[in-house]
Structure 1
Amino acid sequence: MNEPIVQTALREGKSDRAPRILVVEDEVPLATLLVYNLEAEGYQVEHVDNGDEAELRIAESPPDLVLLDWMLPGVSGLEICRRLRARDIARDMPIIMLTARGEEAERVRGLSVGADDYVVKPFSTPELMARVRALLRRARPERVASKLTLGDIDLDRETRRVRRSGREIHLGPTEFRLLEYFMEKPGRVFTRAQLLDSVWGMSAEIDERTVDVHVGRLRKALIRGREKDPIRTVRGSGYSFDETFGRD
């Protein structure tokens, strides 16, 4: 079996501010083309070449969108799509099926198991990129918004500035990425391993205690006096941005 293409953006430790896309495709030339064009659009991209590995990656760290080939070795893409839709973690995840099957009955079959869109090979790359953008806008508008606001905290992705109650908060690049990641998914608890994978992109090379250090720095920068701590520590699990923050 061909070795999957390594996720370039994660390997280089880039920010997770861009939507993450998982490409599930066993044809290396096509996978290479997809990864290249998606990264050129600014997305973080990961590639696997079989359904079992795709299920594992999605369970560990759900992407924002999946490009899923119909004809995969072992378990078919159709079956993988059906399995994903049965899980809470992937029930609303955008899935685009890639296939050489162009008959109407096959398209209906793909959509019936939960695919959001269906692209027939050979396809137009600009059209595929447009479909990816459209699905991401519809499913995860917070991933494409230039500003995030929760309670009295405002984060501007374009200017890379953070303010709380109008005062500017000075954050280092890592603390900015941490806050951004937390604010995208308020209430969701992330393990230290998940934060390392998504924010640092090199979980195998950095000790998990690094997360505690940077969360501590983020808290110190955000909190003045008796202000409420927006980050919740979940004992035995990890960290979360308090979904009740700002409701008082």
Structure 2
Amino acid sequence: MSDTVLATRGLGMSFGGLRVFAGIDFALARGERHAVIGPNGAGKSTFVAIVTGLLRPTAGAVLLDGHDVTRSSAGERVAAGIVRTFQINTLFPSLTPLESVVLALCQRDKQARPSLRALRRCTAQIDEAADLLERFGLADDAQLPTQELAYGQQRLLEVVLAYALRPRVLLLDEPAAGLSTTQGHALFERLAQLTEGTTLLFIEHDMNIVFRYAQRVTVLAGGSLLAQGTPDEIRAHAGVRKAYLGN
């Protein structure tokens, strides 16, 4: 399909004799917000790791805009436009948000990674980083060490760093992990506004967040893709209610 930016065909993954999943046919439409859900152990993080090149599947293919990227490295996929955040915070605690974003922009622009002392010469990247931090509500804390930011701000900074790379597909691995319900909804409210038009794929356990912010949902369970559809279709799916939603 011309509007499909990311797809998998017959995707399977096993670790020795342990089969995580098999036969996953997945499609992500350009510009949509798409959630991947499922019980613990369903293979959600493994699926994202395969899509982003951190793991190589034991079967099947990963396609980006119709091109097979199954054997492409994680770095090659970032360059091609598949960018992710992680469930566990991966920031540099001693750097400021401004320094971190400028470094990310220099990577995107294929500049030799400057030393922190030389960052002040990266004027175009500094201006763009300041604009991004303003848009995401982090401008007031742009000069603080990242370790001094509130946890919710750190999660938001991770998204800024990924978004700065101008991804064709932005993958978020449980971005609301560690946040209160109110904080999680506030984060997704901001993401929905600021990433409008960006193809967004996210893993999330909070079904209130999933059903409020996802336009489509994929359910992994029992080693296979159980269902894929709109939030209303997933709510009404008898197999999903039995396997995951508990009703």
* Shared fold per TM-score greater than 0.5: no
| Greater strand fraction, Structure 1 or Structure 2 | 2
Rg (Cα) greater in structure = 1
| Higher relative contact order (CA closer than 8 Å, sequence separation 6+) | 2
